[in-house]
């Protein structure tokens, strides 16, 4: 006698977490912006705003909606550093790499950040707490090096202050 196969739980989400809600957010972005001249960027921004990233499953939906090739959409996503194709950690920490911040130590801060978090840009720490991103000017040039943790801007950030920001980010709800 053979043992019956275990029942599988069927959900409408893929392994990557792209389900009905993500599909709906992508469709809403297309519906909202497809009439604009140059609708791709606004649509990608809307998808990332809604989902925190642009899932790979969203790309064919957007391409079909705009009558573009997959390569067209991928090309734009990969050109702009801002777009993220992996689900981020619980907090997103951006380091400014633009000139004014570079002139007051942003490169050293960047090295410290990568080393202490154990990730490169676009990477997420092993505990899923923090995703490190680069940004090119936060409008806080006089107070560099500048970083942004989620929506909060921090200026004159050295390695010590960076570690404090990370520790707070890890414990904050």
Question: What's the min distance (Å) between Cβ of 132 and ligand FES?
Answer: 16
Residues 127-146 that bind ligand FES (CB under 6 A): 137-141, 144, 146
Q: Which x/- pattern, by CB under 6 A, does the window 80-99 give for ligand FES?
A: ----------------x-xx
Cβ–Cβ contacts within 10 Å for residue 31, how many? 12
The count of residues interacting with ligand FES (CB under 6 A) is 12
Q: Which x/- pattern, by CB under 6 A, does the window 3-42 give for ligand FES?
A: ----------------------------------------
CA distances from 101 to 7, 98, 108, 145, 147 (A): 56, 6, 11, 5, 10
Query: What does the DSSP 8-state code read for residue 100?
Result: H
Q: Which is nearer to ligand FES, 22 or 110 (CB)?
A: 110
Decide if 145 contacts 104 (C-beta within 8 A): yes
Q: Which is nearer to ligand FES, 104 or 119 (CB)?
A: 104
Measured CA to CA, the distance from residue 159 to residue 110 in angstroms comes to 9
Cβ–Cβ contacts within 10 Å for residue 87, how many? 15
Interacting residue ranges for ligand FES, rule: CB under 6 A: 96, 98-101, 137-141, 144, 146
């Amino acid at each position: 006698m053979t043992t019956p196969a275990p029942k599988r739980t069927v959900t409408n989400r893929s392994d990557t977490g792209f389900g009905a809600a993500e599909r709906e957010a992508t469709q809403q972005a297309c519906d909202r912006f497809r009439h604009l001249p140059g609708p791709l960027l606004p649509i990608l921004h809307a998808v990332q705003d809604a989902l925190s990233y642009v899932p790979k499953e969203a790309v064919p939906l957007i391409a079909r909606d705009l009558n573009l090739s997959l390569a067209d959409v991928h090309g734009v996503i990969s050109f702009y550093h801002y777009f993220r194709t992996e689900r981020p950690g619980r907090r997103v920490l951006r380091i400014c790499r633009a000139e004014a911040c570079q002139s007051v130590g942003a490169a050293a801060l960047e090295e410290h950040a990568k080393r202490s978090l154990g990730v490169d840009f676009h990477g997420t720490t092993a505990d899923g707490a923090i995703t490190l991103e680069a940004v090119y000017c936060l409008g806080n040039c006089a107070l560099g090096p500048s970083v942004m943790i989620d929506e909060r801007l921090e200026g004159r950030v050295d390695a010590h202050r960076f570690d404090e920001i990370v520790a707070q980010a890890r414990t904050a709800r």
